[in-house]
Amino acid sequence: MYVYTHPACLRHDPGPTHAERPERLSAVTDALRAAFDALQWQEAPRATRGQLLRVHSDSLLALVLDTPVETRIALDPDTMLGPGSAEAALRAAGAGVAAVDAVLVGGQRRVFCAVRPPGHHATGSAVMGFCLFNSIAVAAAHACEQHGLSRVAVVDFDVHHGNGTQAIFETDPRVMYLSSHQLPLYPETGRADEHGVGNVVNAPLPPGAGSEPFRAAWREHLLPALDAFRPQMLLISAGFDAHRLDPLAQLELEAGDYRWLTTELVAIAERHAHGRLASMLEGGYDLQALRECSVAHVGALLAP
């Protein structure tokens, strides 16, 4: 199984006290290298402007790619732009594009992208929530526009709602967006009554919810909707910040919950999409939880 990553993703530096720090990615890649010999590590390419423009405005690209940066700049209270940030964001989005190509025409069935910064809060026209480009949205748009798919599913189990991904696709019936997340919590979106054009399914969970309500939300609501959509490809926003150790939220998941859900998602991909699945790292801010959860997730992706 391919894993896309790039050293440039370590050079995006939001600052010494920022939760979205380079050590997050090192924790994931070190844990995966130690746990699995079967992974084939691939260098993430840069996304092109044309690929980014499928989901982002010219003004957002200009902000991230063309702003002269000698020291760190705060684009909003949470989202920083430093000297290495544009290259990291290009590689993160490019990993998603490469993963789609690898799965659809490159002979890979499942792919994981170990990249940062995360992406699912970035809207078509605004950076936010640590996110510069919405890498999973770039990947989904590539699957639709370049490869002609008409049913692409984006599954998001990050503890924060992927407001950017939902906003980008909520009027595009080719892409279904399904999310479990804590609410109330940043960005205060993702209510159960948000449906897009019938292509959005949200399952908000209250603070303190653990394995049982998480699994029930997927088993009773999200997975049946995904199954009924019959996706031709499955994309995963793999955030591990719903883990009980995470400092930015209050859900109580364990690594085994991610293994369980990933196994369920693989089964749906096998049933409807010839197994075609690509997953991208999103949030997760406790390093030990990141190690355990990424190994659980990728282990389930590797299962026959």
- Catalytic positions are 121
Separation of alpha carbons 72 and 69, rounded Å: 7
Helix (H) or strand (E) holding 261: helix 255-272
The neighbouring-strand residues paired with 4 are 42, 113
Angle at 17 between CA 15 and CA 18, to 5 degrees: 65
Catalogue the E-assigned strands of 23-109: 40-43, 73-74, 80-81
Separation of alpha carbons 93 and 192, rounded Å: 28
Separation of alpha carbons 104 and 68, rounded Å: 37
Q: Are strands 233-238 and 80-81 parallel, antiparallel or unpaired?
A: unpaired
Contact 214/180 with Cβ under 8 angstroms?
Answer: yes
Quick one: 18 exposed, middle or buried, by C-beta within 10 A (0-12, 13-18, 19+)? middle
Total Cβ atoms within 10 A of residue 90 = 26
